[in-house]
Amino acid sequence: MGRLVVVSNRVAVPRRGEPPAAGGLAVALKEAFDSRGGLWFGWSGSVAPNPPDMVRHARRGRVDYAVVDLSDAAYQGFYAGYANSALWPLFHFRLGLLSYDRGQAETYRAVNRHYAEKLLPMLRRDDTIWVHDYQLIPLGAALREMGSRHRIGYFHHIPFPPWAVFSAMPGAEDLIRDLLAYDLVGVQTHRDQAGLCDCMSQGTGMKVRPGGEVRLRSRRTVLRAFPIGIDTDGFAEAARTSVQSPEAERLRTSLVGRKLIIGAERLDYTKGLPERLRAFGALMEGWPEYRNAVTYLQVAARSREDVESYKDLKRDIERLAGTINAEYGDVDWTPVRYVGRAVARDTLAGYYRMAPVGLVTPLRDGMNLVAKEYVAAQDPDDPGVLVLSRFAGAAEGMPEALLVNPLDAQGTAEALAAALSMPLAERRERHGAIFRRLRENTVKSWSGDFLRLLEGNDDPAEAHPPSRAAALSMYQARLSSRSVATSSANSPADKAGTQVADLSTARASRAR
């Protein structure tokens, strides 16, 4: 078996003598890299007016890291411009925020061609290439034009909308046709797979066969869902240890017995932060018993601050948090604590374990790993409850979470109240079901499944039927046998029909 060659937008070269950062792609790929060796190629993260036109190399263990710098102009056009101001909003269904500029689109293609030119001479004949995410869609086609006959797979980490949305992008057909250069195109969920197949058939006029197969002359491309997971046991262990740490103790002491609701993400308009604050405000308004009894901690790491829409978002969130604190706060209680920076992974794991409620309500999200990490971090004997947007990819595999529509502040507040008052037996049952699935579908099994199908050994979709179908049937069976005492008939969630609505949405999206 040949080497694994990974191409991703940003490549973080581990310091000499240190393991790769926990979490993220490095963990997913470790096993494959360890067993067969590999090359990891991409942008170094450095930007300069006129960077030297060269590839820098570093060898760590069995992996060669090869990175290039970007010029200011390439960064503006390719990264801040087309990738983050046009593709990112497009793929997240936010056409109102899409800002298209033909020059930036050309820079995006030029940078991808440049990457292909740099990568090609480093390739060996039997390498397998795995390209990651929307910054690099045309890379496969550029490699093919230059003569590459390797197996090339592409994984799309963010949502894939249907053609009715996608076709708003100038040049949409070209982007879809670019995907045909790959042998395998992976997306996160069955909903994304439906969007991708719709774009493929409407954008190219080609027939998508059952199993997501498209044929163009002698080339075959398979379109398939591979829901990404986390290092479940590793994260659970980090949470167990970190909840005893001085940082966790500092937070615990400061709560003075109040219950913690936690949210954590990059500061991004797709994550639904203003909507989440409005929902917390609705909880304070409609459930006075929780005033001075809960604290909502939102950790939001700064992100893409050079993109205009991100600056507006920061202002909105700060204003909303200030309004809630002024309205409901007291001399000894701040309802919303807002921390605007990144927090170390282990520290975050300890905070999750301490929080009876995890609030994860993106407007759209490919998967959302925070939802999975929150569940993995819980104490199985006394777990917290996840309130999760039905528009996160993670919702497909988590029907036992309290699923909400984040645009419905009242509905989300009702779910929060239900979570805060949920009996222990029900919390355990919901947590246990999700946690078992998280242990079966980890980040390692995700990369293994993708590579096995790309390299043609077997078809993981046939080997393992979709976990979501299994999850749903378990859930439905439990509901019909009334073995789950959801919430009592008088509970806010029941009044609002949270459970019924969740299930009907889950059924509807399965049928799509």
CA–CA gap between residue 414 and residue 421 (Å, rounded): 11
The 3 state secondary structure assigned to 57-96 is EEEECCEEEEEEEEEHHHHHHHHHHHHHHHHHHHHCCCHH
Question: Which region among 79-87, 106-114, 278-286, 298-306 touches ligand ADQ (by CB under 6 A)?
Answer: 298-306
Q: Which amino acid is present at 198?
A: D
Give the residue with the Cβ less far from ligand ADQ, 242 or 368: 368
The verdict on 196 binding ligand ADQ (CB under 6 A) reads: no
Rounded Cα distance, 255 and 269, in Å: 29
x-or-dash pattern for ligand ADQ, window 301-330, by CB under 6 A? x-----------------------------
Q: Is 157 in the site for ligand ADQ (CB under 6 A)?
A: yes
The yes or no reply on residue 346 touching ligand ADQ (CB under 6 A) is: no
Pinpoint the alpha helices (H) of 301-364: 308-328, 345-354
Choose between 136 and 228: whose C-beta lies nearer to ligand ADQ: 228
Measured CA to CA, the distance from residue 166 to residue 90 in angstroms comes to 7
Q: Is 343 in the site for ligand ADQ (CB under 6 A)?
A: yes
Min. distance of Cβ 351 from ligand ADQ in angstroms?
A: 10
Q: Which stretch binds ligand ADQ (CB under 6 A): 6-14, 366-374, 402-410, 447-455?
A: 366-374
Residues 6+ apart with CB under 8 A from 98: 85, 86, 89, 90, 168, 169
- Distance, in Å, from the CA atom of 41 to the CA atom of 51, rounded to the nearest integer, reads 17
Least distance from ligand ADQ to the Cβ atom of residue 21, Å: 10
178 binds ligand ADQ (CB under 6 A): no
Q: Which of 29, 179, 355, 370 binds ligand ADQ (CB under 6 A)?
A: 370
Give the tokens for residue 363: 């407007």
Sheet of 294-301, strand order: 336-339, 294-301, 259-266, 357-360, 385-389, 402-404
Q: What is the DSSP string of 395-422?
A: GGG-TTSEEE-TT-HHHHHHHHHHHHT-
Going by their DSSP bridges, the two strands 63-71 and 56-60 should be labelled as antiparallel
Tell me: does residue 449 bind ligand ADQ (CB under 6 A): no
| DSSP secondary structure of 465-508 | --HHHHHHHHHHHHHHTT-S--S-TTSHHHHHTHHHHHHHHHHH
Residue 127 binds ligand ADQ, judged by CB under 6 A: no
> Is 38 in contact with 11 (CB distance < 8 Å)?
no
State which residue, 150 or 353, has the beta carbon closest to ligand ADQ.
Answer: 353
10 scored as a contact of ligand ADQ (CB under 6 A): no
* Closer residue to ligand ADQ (CB): 369 or 375: 369
| Site residue total, ligand ADQ (CB under 6 A) | 20
Rg (CA), the chain: 23
Nearer to ligand ADQ, 187 or 223 (CB): 187
Nearest approach, Cβ of 136 to ligand ADQ (angstroms)?
Answer: 14
Should residue 12 be labelled a site residue for ligand ADQ when binding is judged by CB under 6 A? Answer: no
Just list the catalytic residues. Answer: 157, 365
Quick check: 298 binds ligand ADQ (CB under 6 A)? no
Q: Does 273 bind ligand ADQ (CB under 6 A)?
A: no
Mask of contacts with ligand ADQ, 209-238, x by CB under 6 A?
A: -------------------x----------
Under 8 Å between Cβ of 439 and 232: yes
Which of residues 63, 87, 137, 367 is near ligand ADQ by CB under 6 A? 367
Indicate whether 369 belongs to the interface with ligand ADQ (CB under 6 A).
yes
Q: Which is nearer to ligand ADQ, 92 or 150 (CB)?
A: 92
> Distance between alpha carbon 388 and the CA centroid of its chain, in Å?
13
Q: Around 435, how many Cα atoms within 13 Å sit in the side-chain half-sphere?
A: 20
Provide the minimum distance between the beta carbon of 246 and ligand ADQ in the complex, in angstroms, as a whole number: 18
Q: How many residues does the chain have?
A: 512
Q: What is the nearest approach in angstroms of ligand ADQ to the Cβ of residue 99?
A: 19
From 122-130, 262-270, 308-316, 463-471, give the range in contact with ligand ADQ by CB under 6 A: 262-270
Question: Which residues are near ligand ADQ by CB under 6 A?
Answer: 23, 157-158, 228, 264-266, 299-301, 342-343, 348, 365-370, 373
